Amino acid sequence: MPIDPDELGSQTAADPAATLKERLRAQGLRLLVRSVPDLRNPDVLADLRREAAMMALHPEDDALDDWIEQVTYWEAWRHS
């Protein structure tokens, strides 16, 4: 349910967050905030590529790839 700006009135910046949390709690929900890497950032992409290249050099890389292939249900990924 969207927040009606008229309901907020002259609240401080923290008050709308509290209002949102109260509304979520009333619905049996809780606010959850996650931070994820920003893939639009060239520095982040460069770091991920560097780490992937390092992982590919691991002596057990082929064995790990084989194991992932065996335990992953790829059909579920195709339909999501």
Q: C-alpha dihedral over 22, 26, 30, 33, to 10 degrees?
A: -50
What residue has token string 């606010």?
A: 31
- Cα dihedral across residues 12, 18, 20, 23: positive or negative: negative
Question: pTM to 2 decimals?
Answer: 0.49
pLDDT in tens, 17-42: 889 899 999 999 988 889 999 999 99
Rounded to whole angstroms, the Cα distance separating 65 from 29 reads 38
pLDDT in tens, 56-75: 999 999 999 999 999 998 88
